[in-house]
């Protein structure tokens, strides 16, 4: 009886990738960005004059060094004021942002309230911190209070959005489970949602404090108190060596805060 010969099964061959399969959203976005950058190059041009670029740069840098450390004491005093402005502004902003963020979180509030709250937050974010500070100086005069008000409004725009995102990122199954055993919506929020959003809220607040400390150094330019006032004065009088001392002090505090922030964030990292 003849036996049928069976050939061993061939392993399937991988079909080649079609060109359109490479057009992922990420790739297309990158391509558009690259094209936009190339087109935008036209807009970047100098004055057309012959300039000694390196000469100019080295002369300017020479003005900065060595830094004049005689103003260090005064600078540290101003730094204290800057720190106070940043801390108070961040605290007030986080308190105001929490209810706004709850209103703006799609998983917590009804659609119409989310739309209104998000519009308010977008409007606040549209205005840069320097302009908020200018407005505040116009209202309460050139003092640290203006700095606090200016930075507070700016921070509300960001913290409100970040906190809302934090609330939306929490898995809703746990609060739903609590509702299933008869918990009030507020109890479901307090014990099911808030404990999971809290580490993120803390982390964002810390980030905002770091940001505000840097911003508080700049808003002094418009008279809103802090170390920026000194920066402005030394720039106006061309005292670049003193200007440099102020910059070094800002660099030191920002670096310190960065390390401390990293350390703290690792300990309250969201789970």
Partner 1 sequence: MDVVFEQVGLKRGERWLVRGLQAEIPAGRFVAVVGSSGVGKSSLLSAIAGEFELAEGRIGLARDGGGPRSPGEHRRHIAPIFQHLLLSGNLSLLTNVLLGRLGRRSWISTLTGFPAREEQEAYALLADLGLGAFARRQVHQLSGGEQQRVAVARALFQQPDLYLADEPVASLDAYFAGRVLGLLRQEARLRKRTVFCVLHDAALVERFADVALSLDPARPDGWSIRTISRRPGDTQIEGLGL
Interface residues toward partner 1, by CB under 8 A: 173-174, 176-178, 180-184, 186-187, 190-192, 195-196, 198-199, 271
Q: Which residue, 197 or 213, is less far from partner 1 as judged by CB?
A: 197
The least distance separating partner 1 from the CB of residue 172, rounded to whole angstroms, comes to 10
* Nearer of residues 72 and 174 to partner 1, judged by Cβ: 174
Q: How far is the CB of 195 from partner 1 (least distance, A)?
A: 4
> Using an 8 Å Cβ cutoff, are 203 and 265 in contact?
yes
Q: Nearer Cβ to partner 1, position 233 or 268?
A: 268
| Token pair recorded at residue 144 | 């640290």
Q: Name the token pair of 184.
A: 């009030």
Euclidean distance between the first and final Cα of the chain, in Å? 70
Q: Which ranges of the chain would DSSP assign to H, the alpha helix?
A: 25-40, 53-64, 72-104, 111-126, 129-140, 144-169, 173-180, 185-188, 194-218, 227-236, 240-267
- Closest distance to partner 1 from the beta carbon of 175 (Å): 9
Angstrom distance (rounded) from CA 104 to CA 197: 14
Buried/exposed 171-195: b ≥16 CB within 10 Å, e otherwise: eeeebeebeeeebeeeebbeebbee
> Least separation, in Å, of the C-beta of 199 and partner 1?
7
Q: Provide the 8-state DSSP code for 268.
A: S
Give whichever of 141 and 177 is closer to partner 1, judged by the CB atom: 177
Least separation in angstroms between residue 178's CB and partner 1 is 6
Nearer to partner 1, 196 or 214 (CB): 196
């Amino acid at each position: 009886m003849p036996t049928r010969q069976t050939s061993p099964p061939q392993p399937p061959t991988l079909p080649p990738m079609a060109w359109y399969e490479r057009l992922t959203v990420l790739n297309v976005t990158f391509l558009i960005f690259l094209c936009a950058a190339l087109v935008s190059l036209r807009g970047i041009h100098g004055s057309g004059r012959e300039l000694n670029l390196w000469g100019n740069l080295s002369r300017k840098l020479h003005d900065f060094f060595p830094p004049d450390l005689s103003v260090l004491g005064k600078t540290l005093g101003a730094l204290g004021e800057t720190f106070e402005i940043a801390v108070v502004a961040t605290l007030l902003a986080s308190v105001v942002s929490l209810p706004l963020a709850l209103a703006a979180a799609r998983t917590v509030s009804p659609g119409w309230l989310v739309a209104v709250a998000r519009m308010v937050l977008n409007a606040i974010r549209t205005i840069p911190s320097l302009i908020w500070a200018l407005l505040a100086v116009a209202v309460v005069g050139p003092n640290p209070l203006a700095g606090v008000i200016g930075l507070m409004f700016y921070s509300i725009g960001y913290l409100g959005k970040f906190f809302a995102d934090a609330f939306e990122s929490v898995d809703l199954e746990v609060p739903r489970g609590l509702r299933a055993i008869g918990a009030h919506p507020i109890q479901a929020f307090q014990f099911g949602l808030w404990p999971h959003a809290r580490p993120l809220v803390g982390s964002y607040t810390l980030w905002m404090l770091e940001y505000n400390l840097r911003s508080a150094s700049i808003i002094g330019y418009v008279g809103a108190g802090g170390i920026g006032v000194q920066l402005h004065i030394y720039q106006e009088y061309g005292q670049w060596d003193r200007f440099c001392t102020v910059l070094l002090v800002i660099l030191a505090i920002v670096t310190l805060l960065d390390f401390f922030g990293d350390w703290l964030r690792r300990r309250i990292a969201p789970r």
